[in-house]
Chains A and B, each alone.
Chain A
Amino acid sequence: MSVLTERQQRAYIDAQAADARVNVEVETDEGMTLNIGPQHPATHGTLRVIAKLDGEQVLWADVVPGYMHRGYEKLTEVRTYPQVTTLINRIDWLGSFANEVPFILAAEQLMEIEAPARARHIRTILFEMARLANIVLFLGDLGVQLGAVTPAFFAFRDREHVLDQIESVTGGRFHPNFDRIGGLKDDLPKGWIADTKAVMVRIRRFCDEIEDLLFGNEIFEARTRGVGVIPPEVGLSYGLTGANLRASGVDWDLRRDGGIAGLAHGDVDWKVWTHPDGDSFARCWVRLQETREATTIIDQLCDGLPGGPIMAKVPRIIKVPPGEAYVATENPLGVMGYYLISKGDLGPFRTKIRSASFSNVSIVPWLMKGVYVPDIITILASLYFILGDIDR
């Protein structure tokens, strides 16, 4: 597992820290400064990457986020608990439902409420559906970044079926706002389970298509194998999570290891995928396997759906008792957590939002050192971030 010694790792960190001192605005005396973004297709939104080049090689790169900062941590302080879920839906907008879950679980932990079994199962199904909606688009977008247009159309085609299923339960394609403290807003509509299982078959077929189109492709392999290697120690110290960390061989998934009470991943049989290489290819490959794994999780949960109520007994006006709780879940982009401080009021006193992409992207200055210009795009694509998840 250990790729770098402690001393080497410290040297990396020191070098990275030294680079951050360079003033990005004026230093142009040697090499060329290449400004990527904030409006650039490869940045999935408004992320700015500044790269200092020597020929085709990157001397250093810096990331400038904040073009979409919406101040959600401040805004939660002036909202009631049920209102907050509407807001935090917009953090990772491709997997919206997954954003609501850790917040609701943190509130449930403080209130000492447990959702009924049926609510936990449906919540987990929707959680994994959000993962599908998110990562299917990643797999399609991956091709676009490398000049292959076909996978994107396949992805948009098949994601639509996932979104249809989410919409038929929650009423919203992108922003369900469906999770409630103590359970869910509604039960599943009639015939939903059969439709969902058909969609899962489609998604598995989509994964096979993407594997044929991309992962066996010589150009794809040439541009991702051995590029952007993240050693596990470095990944951990930067707080990398999700597929980015598992692709470096760290066998850690909060769905399995987190002991999260409000979700039902423990009731089904599934596997955490890891890859030893830590390069761009590994990150993409792990996400492909996770997509397949998510479909089997949903299949099993649909088969074993327990009966009963979908809502626990909850006061009509929700006041959360004073206390502090931190709950994190394994979201599509990585670990997302909410540190919730309540003073017994109608809304949170303070919410610290730990979003996955923020930490995942903070490694970019370290990772970009010495890579070539075309690799910037593949590395950014393989790290996979959503701007709303960086800026919050």
Chain B
Amino acid sequence: MSDATDTEPAEVETDEAREAVLATLTGTLGDAVAGSHVKPGQGLWVRVAREAWTAAAEACRTHLGFHFFDYLSAIDWMPSPWGRYEYSAVDDGIAPFDHDAPIETGLAGGDTRFQVMCRLANVRRRGEPHLNVVLKADLPDDDLRIDSLVRLYAGANWHERECWEMFGITFDGHPGLRHLYLPGAFEGHPLRKDFPLVARLVKPWPGIVDVEPMPGEPAANGDAAEGDAAAEGEGAEA
């Protein structure tokens, strides 16, 4: 199940605890666990099938005692078509964007552009590092809906409302998907990558141009994001 698990000797005990959490979830959900990732001493990521979203949360709550609802949100993995508004191509106009560019997802993998994520935690273990899990679920582009967690965690209410208006993801069974932040007539979903930040398009931010070259170093030409070696390792300041 674990596609990347590096163990460090110093943190074996917390790692074991997280592996145990993962084993419990895998045992309860079976094939619904689509991917997982353990960062020793830092966290656990579990990607579940969309159909098993509430079942996964319920397993966390009943079998693992994760009563604390931390947050729920979504990730749009599409590379932004608008760039970062820092490059000359954008200053001259919108850079052409390839909508078929490959989408790279993060920890625990993924197959779709949108992922819902939710973090649940256990706070009852006194003195020990508390355990937690980040649940993720893939959502197909043509059907952005998933079951609501409000029945299990009342705190999911506002988080799902925010996620609904910011990403356009519908939560089935939510008691009232109303706008939380945005005005009622707002069109679009601002946190999607293809939603332009208009202020930046009107007036590009100087951004990286502000960085002046250090004496005796090759000048950073503003395209540092391209991955040139000059920006990589050298010029460490004390």
Contacts and interface: CB of A to CB of B under 8 A. Distances in A.
A191 interface: no
25 contacts: A13-B154, A18-B175, A20-B157, A77-B197, A78-B200, A80-B207, A80-B208, A234-B154, A237-B68, A237-B155, A239-B71, A239-B153, A252-B124, A256-B127, A259-B14, A309-B238, A311-B238, A317-B231, A317-B235, A319-B224, A337-B71, A339-B71, A350-B76, A359-B158, A363-B154
Nearest to A63: B158
A74 B190 contact: yes
B70 A346 contact: no
Nearest to A310: B238
Given A77-B80, A239-B155, A339-B134, 15 more contacts: A17-B175, A20-B176, A21-B176, A66-B181, A80-B207, A237-B153, A237-B155, A252-B130, A256-B127, A257-B126, A258-B129, A313-B237, A316-B237, A339-B73, A343-B104
A346 B225 contact: yes
User: Which of A258, A313, A317 lies at the interface centre, i.e. has the most chain B CB atoms within 10 A of its CB?
Assistant: A317
Interface in A299-356: 309, 311, 313-317, 319, 322-326, 328, 335, 337, 339, 341, 343-347, 350, 352, 354
A241 B85 CA distance: 37
B75 A341 contact: yes
Interface string B205-228: 101100100100000100011010
A238 B224 CA distance: 43
Dominant secondary structure at the A interface: mixed
A66 B205 CA distance: 26
Contacts of B180: 65-66
A317 B208 CA distance: 9
A237 B197 contact: no
Contacts of B179: 66
Contacts of B9: none
Interface of A: 10, 12-14, 16-18, 20-21, 65-66, 69, 71, 73-75, 77-80, 83, 109, 233-234, 236-240, 250-252, 256-259, 309, 311, 313-317, 319, 322-326, 328, 335, 337, 339, 341, 343-347, 350, 352, 354, 358-359, 362-363, 366, 391
Contacts of B96: none
A259 B154 contact: no
Q: Which 10 A-B pairs have CB atoms at the shortest separation, nearest pair first? A: A66-B181, A17-B175, A316-B235, A238-B155, A239-B155, A69-B181, A362-B158, A252-B123, A20-B176, A259-B129
Interface in B172-218: 175-176, 178-182, 190-191, 195, 197, 200, 205, 207-208, 211, 214
Classify chain B's interface size: 35 or more
User: Which of B76, B153, B155, B207 lies at the interface centre, i.e. has the most chain A CB atoms within 10 A of its CB?
Assistant: B155
